Amino acid sequence: MKNALTISGLFHVVLLVTAAMEIPWFDSVENSEMVIIPVEILQFAKETRTKEIAKLPNIEREKPKPPEKRPIRQAKLPPPPPKMLSTMPLPNQVQRPTKNIKVADLRSVAPEISQREKPKPPSRYNSDRIAQLLNKVPKKENVIEQLSDRLGSQDQQATSLDVRRQVMSISSAIQKKIEDQCWNPPSGALDAGSLKVRVKFYLTQEGKLARPPVADDYVRMAGSMKVAADSALRAVRMCAPYSDLKLPQEMYDQWREVILNFDPSGMIG
């Protein structure tokens, strides 16, 4: 029974690792800020890494591939900061593949996850660069560690901050337009201040509404709640198209889908 469980456990871990590294969705997922939970999985993976090492080489050989595919997209994105390059020419230290694998692998889950959190290309560049380094320049394990540390922390953070900043400015542009020009909250109802509505809508690349906006639970709403939802939906429609906000085309994936939480409690007591 115990054996069976152990074997099953191992298979699950293998599944976990392969899934983490090979599922192609990750390419598109990487820009998301939402996937934070998997970080915890890392810790579990560590527990079993010794057993995995034997199997890793296979995985490792495949691993460099996905990074090579990625650059195509990343080409559009801002180039990695020069620091990276300066750190690239590394000392001539011999690097043992297994160790590399290990390092890369220990991070293989980690960077990907952190890349996902931090929306951006830097992470991709990291893996690309690492792949290049692995191929061309023999290096020391700690160098790679250093490298990935750096790439994984500083630069990646820097660019992910940029993305966040941009996302924030997109958000505030939409917010300002809706608040200043379009939302006319119903003030008559007794409970007007507590009528919170969540509206979701999709934009085309031209900034038009891709389909009618939808308020959560609209079908079940009645009375003043429905009136509040109507005012929110009207605001979204009134403000369309959003082309005047000049939302950055290269970040369309970021603003394609918008959720607005209308909360009048601050203005209607």
Nearer to other proteins, 147 or 233 (CB): 233
Nearer to other proteins, 145 or 179 (CB): 179
Binding test (CB under 8 A) with other proteins, winner from 51, 238, 246, 248: 238
Rounded Cα distance, 151 and 86, in Å: 12
Binding test (CB under 8 A) with other proteins, winner from 5, 54, 75, 219: 5
SS3 145: helix
Provide, rounded to whole angstroms, the least separation between the CB of residue 168 and other proteins: 9
Rounded Cα distance, 13 and 52, in Å: 9
Collect all residues with Cβ–Cβ distance below 8 Å to 227 and sequence separation of at least 6.
Answer: 186, 189, 195
Beta strand residue intervals within 124-233, DSSP E? 197-202, 214-215
Q: Does residue 266 bind other proteins (CB under 8 A)?
A: yes
| Residues forming beta bridges with residue 144, ordered by sequence position | none
How many CB atoms lie under 10 A from the CB of residue 57? 12
Site string for other proteins, 107-146 (x = CB under 8 A): ---------x--x---------------------------
Binding test (CB under 8 A) with other proteins, winner from 22, 44, 57, 92: 44
Site string for other proteins, 195-234 (x = CB under 8 A): -----------------x----------xxxxxx-x-xxx
Provide, rounded to whole angstroms, the least separation between the CB of residue 119 and other proteins: 8
Write the DSSP symbol of residue 267.
T
Contact present, 74 and 127 (Cβ < 8 Å): no
Strand 214-215 with 197-202, pairing: antiparallel
Q: Which helix (H) or strand (E) holds 258?
A: strand 257-262
Nearer to other proteins, 113 or 133 (CB): 113
Contact present, 76 and 121 (Cβ < 8 Å): no
Nearer to other proteins, 139 or 177 (CB): 177
Residues numbered 154 to 193 that lie near other proteins (CB under 8 A) are 167, 170-171, 174-175, 178-180, 183-190
Nearer to other proteins, 37 or 219 (CB): 37
Nearer to other proteins, 34 or 54 (CB): 34
